[in-house]
Structures are given as structure tokens and as C-alpha cells.
């Protein structure tokens, strides 16, 4: 058997971690992913780039399995090439703010005019139509705004999770949403539009158990009580340590 997404083509106009992580998963599942980079390349190329090759480890990990093309989308020639790529693809992914997407001819309307069967996925910091829709956002901003940092720190104050948790969780959600939209496109023959806002996605992720008694109206108890009663980081008990590893899944 081949990989499940063989024959599916993705144009990836995203940068940093969230969008590229999502499209990396699609590539691992068999899709052909073409990453569109601006002059100078994705900024993540420089992170940890000890050899000075613009091929840092984070960039390599989150973009493995992709092809790459450099396009200056601020120029007519670059946008023309992108239009030709979009016309022959199944999925278009970007993480531009709505105003920037409009300027670069990457709004949902523009993409679906070029390719009415495309699945269009826009990763954003904040949901379109809201008061912050054009504000930029990074992982640490969303960890704080969604409540993740508050839960992680507990009574000692807010603390960030020591990984780009928001970027990766939202990237996973985006990959799932794109696959659902692709199924809808194949069933109807019509293009689909997917929006994946970081704040709203992470807030829903955190409220799954942290909403606690506030699920009910009126509230039936406090918020922030997890099913097993742990609301802050805790040391792993000795019986959970196996061969020097913290492992509580056994």
C-alpha cells in the first residue's frame, strides 16, 4: 500500500513553526508539499544554524519531505508564478494576517477564483472578524492568552510550557481540519475554506477539562479542576521512573 495522501499536492506559504509543522505532517502522510519562501528564506532557517548554512535543525525538522521555491510575492512576477502553482494544487496553506493575504492575492476568494476545487487553509493568531484579527501572534503570546501558562504555573504564577506547544497543537488541529475539508471537496467537487485561529483553538483545548464547574449554568463548582485533581506541574513519583526516563504510561 502507498501512503494515504499520495497524489495530493499542497502549496505551503507558511513560515515559522505552526503552518510548516502542519504541512510537514501532510508530507509524511504522502502529500507532495511545495514550500514557498520569500527572498531570504523562512526565518526559522537561522535558528540554531551553527554551520551558517541557513539550514538550522528546527527548519530541517519542520520542513522535511518538502520541495521549496523562492518567490517574491510583493512583485507581479512572483504572484503570477504563485497563481500557476495554486491552479494545479489541491491544498493551499498560509499563516498570513488577513490584510497581508489580501495584498498578496492569497485571500480565500482570490485562491478559489484561481482554483475552485482548492482546499484553502489560513492559520491565524486570532479569528477573522474579531477585534484582534490583524494582530500578529506567537506561541508564547497564545500560551499566555489561552490560559495554558496560568495552568502550567499553578499557584506560583504563570509559566510557559518548555516547547512550542501552541504552535504544534494548532498545527495538528489544522492538519485534521484540512483532511476533513479535503474529504468534503472530494464528495462535493467544491473548494473548501478552513480557518485555524491559534487563540480560539488553544482556548478550546485548555477548556476541555479546565472549565470545570463553569461548564454548567449556574456554575456547579470552580474552574481549573482536572479529572485527576492535578492543576499544576508535579514531580514524577519514583515508581514512574523507568531506566532514567519519566514514564507514566505503563
pLDDT in tens, 176-234: 999 999 999 999 999 999 999 999 999 999 998 888 888 999 999 888 755 555 555 55
pTM of the model: 0.88
- Which residues form the catalytic set? 167
| All three cell numbers of 19 | 503552518
Q: What residues contact 66, with CB distance under 8 A and at least 6 apart? A: 12, 23, 24, 27, 33, 34, 35
CA 160 from centroid of its chain's CA atoms: 18
How many whole angstroms separate alpha carbon 210 and alpha carbon 98? 31
Predicted pLDDT at 226: 56
How many whole angstroms separate alpha carbon 136 and alpha carbon 198? 11
Predicted pLDDT at 245: 43
9-13, strands of its sheet edge to edge: 66-70, 32-37, 9-13, 91-94, 119-124, 192-197
Predicted pLDDT at 73: 96
Question: pLDDT below 70 — which residues of the chain?
Answer: 225-250
Note whether 95 and 124 are within 8 A (CB): yes
Note whether 196 and 174 are within 8 A (CB): yes
Amino acid at each position: 500500500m502507498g501512503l494515504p495522501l499520495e497524489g495530493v499536492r499542497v502549496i505551503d506559504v507558511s513560515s515559522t513553526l505552526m503552518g510548516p509543522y502542519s504541512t510537514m505532517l501532510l508530507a509524511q502522510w504522502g502529500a507532495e508539499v511545495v514550500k514557498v519562501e520569500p527572498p531570504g528564506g523562512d526565518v526559522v532557517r537561522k535558528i540554531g544554524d551553527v554551520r551558517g548554512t541557513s539550514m538550522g535543525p528546527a527548519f530541517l525538522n519542520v520542513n522535511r519531505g518538502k520541495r521549496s521555491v523562492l518567490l517574491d510575492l510583493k512583485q507581479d512576477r512572483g504572484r503570477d508564478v504563485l497563481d500557476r502553482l495554486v491552479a494545479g494544487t489541491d491544498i493551499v496553506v498560509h499563516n498570513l494576517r488577513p490584510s497581508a493575504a489580501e495584498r498578496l492575492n492569497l485571500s480565500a476568494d482570490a485562491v478559489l477564483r484561481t482554483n475552485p476545487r482548492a482546499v484553502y487553509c489560513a492559520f491565524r493568531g486570532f479569528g477573522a472578524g474579531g477585534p484582534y484579527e490583524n494582530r500578529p501572534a506567537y506561541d508564547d503570546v497564545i500560551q499566555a492568552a489561552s490560559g495554558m501558562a496560568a495552568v502550567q504555573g499553578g499557584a506560583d504564577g504563570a509559566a510557559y510550557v518548555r516547547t512550542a506547544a501552541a504552535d504544534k497543537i494548532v498545527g495538528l488541529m489544522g492538519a485534521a481540519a484540512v483532511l476533513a475539508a479535503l474529504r468534503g471537496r472530494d464528495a462535493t467537487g467544491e473548494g473548501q475554506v478552513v480557518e485555524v485561529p491559534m487563540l480560539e483553538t488553544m482556548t478550546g483545548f485548555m477548556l476541555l477539562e479546565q472549565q470545570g464547574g463553569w461548564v454548567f449554568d449556574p456554575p456547579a463548582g470552580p474552574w481549573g479542576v482536572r479529572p485527576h485533581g492535578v492543576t499544576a506541574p508535579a514531580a514524577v513519583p519514583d515508581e514512574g521512573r523507568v531506566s532514567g526516563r519519566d514514564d507514566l504510561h505503563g
